[in-house]
Amino acid sequence: MKRPSPRPAPGDRKSGITHRNNVLVPAAIFLLAVALRVLFVFFLRETPFFLEHFSDTKLYMQLVSQINGDGIGHAYFMSPLYPYIIAVIEKVTGSPELWGRFLQSVFGGLTALITYFIGKRGFGSATGIVAGAVVALYVPFIYYDGLLLTESLFTLLLSAQLLALLSAMEKKDIRYWAAAGVLLGLAAITRASILLFLPAFLVSLLFLQKEYRPNRSHIAVYTILAFLTLLPTTWHNAAEEKVFIPVTTSFGYNLYAGNNAEATGLYSMPASVDLASDFNGSRWIERNTGREMNSAEASAWWRDAALEWMTGHPGDAAILYMKKLLLFFHPGEIDQLGLSMRFFKQEYGAIPGIPAAAFPVLFVLSVIGLLIALRERNTGWIIPAYLFVYVFSTALFFISGRLRLPIMPLLILYAAHTLVVLVQRFRNGSVASLRNPAAAGTIIALCVMFLLQPEVRQGFEQEYIKLGQVAFKSADYPESERLFRASLSEQESVDAMVNLGNALAAQNRSEEAAAQYRRAIAKDSTAALAWFNFGNLRMQTGSPQYAYGYWKKAIACDPYLSDARRNFGLLLMQAGRLPEAEAELMEYLKLEPDASRRSEISRDLEKIGQILRQEGK
């Protein structure tokens, strides 16, 4: 692979951008991006999404509480760098919801700034300005920089690592290689799959002519520092569970979520797997196999289950993989978390900026820009390699719209290059050169790809449930009822039925609530929460004999449902069945993480113990 000499980048000398703007232009891009994101944070403060934690955000905030409490007492499942940053913010400010988002606004500004510098380095000032401005204005970036998720940090680290690596290849300075290695390691601690870029990069170096290959010592520094950055997470996992796992134990879980008999290309796990209470699915595995597992064993179980399906159905697995590659470039938003931008726009108004609907146009322009860059030989192979590795490694797992955000700055970079080239050729009067059969064929092929996209149903059932739970928490039961009914109108789910039953029970509409619990149980007889809440209703309406049976059934469906253990144990205590009550309440103490709730039951257990000792039992 010969490293070609770069041609002059279009739009550089004739763009009107002078050296006087070397500070003003990047500063303007950075400030524009930060300002838009800070404005969105203040807008977000007026919505329930600001203080309430849902889906992955809830998992990260649980980790933050553990970090600032007794520490994380198990191997990492969620990528740990982000929750440690938020934990520091909580420790210093006491308000991670506000200051964490302000920090992410700065992350977004830095990403726009780095995109400008990458564009200027590879294509010229005009392309850098357009790319940086589009990143600053692109609504999906603004939206996700306002959510407490890893996307903002990971996109910044990925962009910074790329800039450092490009600088290292060009300047042959060991400091840039060291920075690139550390940034790659930090990016891996944020999302481990990016480590797949390292072997791809190292192998590709073998195809460069000798005079263009980097110094071996520089490559060694880059590689060693990338892995040294992983030492803290590796050490933690080994210390907590005696396993060798460099970053997280989520590989097997995520592989299964995208590769199983029910997989559609999106996140697909059994409905009863709840990461909020069962962070790696190990309890689900135990219920279904009778085997207790640590985090590494659970990851291996999910991995083996995924590989068993893939090897047993190679044709289906190959078709599914191709489907995921298509879905990665889906023209619409594919939401995984129940926090979609479309729902936010519907309920609270549009976010100013370049909308998500512009993605198909940006993608078509980016492919044309990539082809132009390759033909003009004014950029190297590292950016295309990044794109290739990221897309194909993501498709190994499952697809979500937010997962393509980290490479959107690179796609926007090529799209900006296309726009600059078009303007340049119109100015030069060389419009005839635009009549390129290859470019026309590329556009047609991409349009066909969009037309062939698999149908993706994206309703708002999860969003309505989340808002309903917020209303229920604030004791606005009529509003929670409305929202849970709205969820059911989108799609009938056991979750919505149980929540609606709870909202009706809180309004003393017992028979209507009972009807919803029965409806949920008819849909899924193993729905532990439906049995549990039905038991609560029967207890409240003076039928403890029914509550006894329903809570017992809830525990049979989910032995780890701590509140069911608690209520069942207290009922047995009231009935004078003290040995059984003691056993249930002891199980509750093992499951309940809240110290204040454990202390209440500990007092009850002391009373039971005193009585049993007096009776000589």
Between CA 194 and CA 62 the distance in angstroms is 25
Identify the CA nearest to 483 among candidates 505, 506, 460, 454. 460
* Structure confidence at residue 134 as a pLDDT band (50, 70, 90): very high
- Predicted confidence (pLDDT) at residue 583 exceeds the cutoff of 50: yes
pLDDT of residue 523: 94
Q: How far is CA 259 from CA 248, 268, 303, in A?
A: 19, 8, 9
Q: CA 172 to CA 181: how far, in whole Å?
A: 14
Q: Is there a contact between 278 and 560 (Cβ–Cβ < 8 Å)? A: yes
pLDDT category of residue 387 using cuts at 50, 70 and 90 = very high
Distance CA 546, CA 543 (A): 6
Contact 434, 422 (CB under 8 A): yes
Q: Give the mean pLDDT of 54-81.
A: 90
Tokens representing 275? 């990461």
pLDDT of residue 13: 46
- What CATH code would you report for 459-558? 1.25.40.10
DSSP structure string for 372-441: HHHHHT-S-SHHHHHHHHHHHHHTTS---GGGGGGGHHHHHHHHHHHHHHHHHHHHHT-GGGG--HHHHH
Instruction: Assess contact for 361 and 450: CB atoms under 8 A.
Output: no
- Residue 377 and residue 390: Cα distance in Å, rounded? 23
For residue 483, name the pLDDT band (cuts at 50, 70, 90). Answer: very high
pLDDT of residue 432: 57
Tell me what the mean pLDDT of segment 366-395 comes to.
85
> Can you tell me the distance from the alpha carbon of 274 to that of 280, in angstroms, rounded to the nearest whole number?
9
Return the HEC string of 203-228.
HHHCCCCHHHCCCHHHHHHHHHHHHH
Q: What is the pLDDT of residues 424-436, one digit of tens each?
A: 888 877 665 556 6
Amino acid 179: pLDDT: 96
CA dist 211 and 225 (Å) reads 25
Looking at residue 433, what is its pLDDT? 55
The Cα–Cα gap between 297 and 252 comes to 10
pLDDT score of 5: 46
Q: What is the Cα Rg of the chain in Å?
A: 28
Alpha carbons 356 and 338: distance in angstroms, whole number = 17
At a CB cut-off of 8 Å and minimum separation 6, what does 5 contact?
377
Helix, strand, or coil here: 354? strand
**C-alpha span between 548 and 224 (Å, rounded):** 60
**Residues 422 and 356: beta-carbon distance below 8 Å:** no
Q: pLDDT tier at 4 (50, 70, 90 boundaries)?
A: very low
Per-residue pLDDT tens digits for 329-348: 988 888 877 788 999 999 99
pLDDT digits over 140-156, tens only?
Answer: 999 999 999 999 999 99
Give me the residue label for tokens 């090897």. 311
3-state secondary structure of 138: strand
213: three-class secondary structure by DSSP:
coil
Q: What pLDDT does 591 receive?
A: 85
In the chain the first and final C-alpha atoms are separated, in Å, by 82
Q: Where are the domains of the chain?
A: 21-233+336-451, 459-558, 565-617
Instruction: Give CA–CA dist 11/9, Å, rounded.
Output: 6
CA distances from 186 to 114, 169, 180, 600 (A): 17, 20, 10, 43
pLDDT given for residue 20 in this prediction: 60
DSSP 358: G
Is the pLDDT score of 18 beyond 60?
A: no
Give the phi and the psi of residue 348 in degrees, each rounded to 5: -125, -5
| Residue 289 in this model has a pLDDT that exceeds 90 | no
- Indicate whether 17 pLDDT > 60: no
Residues 337, 343: Cα–Cα separation, whole Å: 12
DSSP-derived letter for residue 262 is T
What pLDDT was estimated at residue 156? Answer: 97
Asked whether 75 and 234 are in contact (CB, 8 A), the reply is no
Angle among Cα 15, 21, 24 to the nearest 5 degrees reads 130
503, two tokens: 């909202």
Give the pLDDT score at 14. Answer: 46
Average pLDDT estimate for 108-128: 95
Say what the pLDDT of residue 11 is.
47
pLDDT band, very low/low/confident/very high, at 19 (cuts 50, 70, 90): low
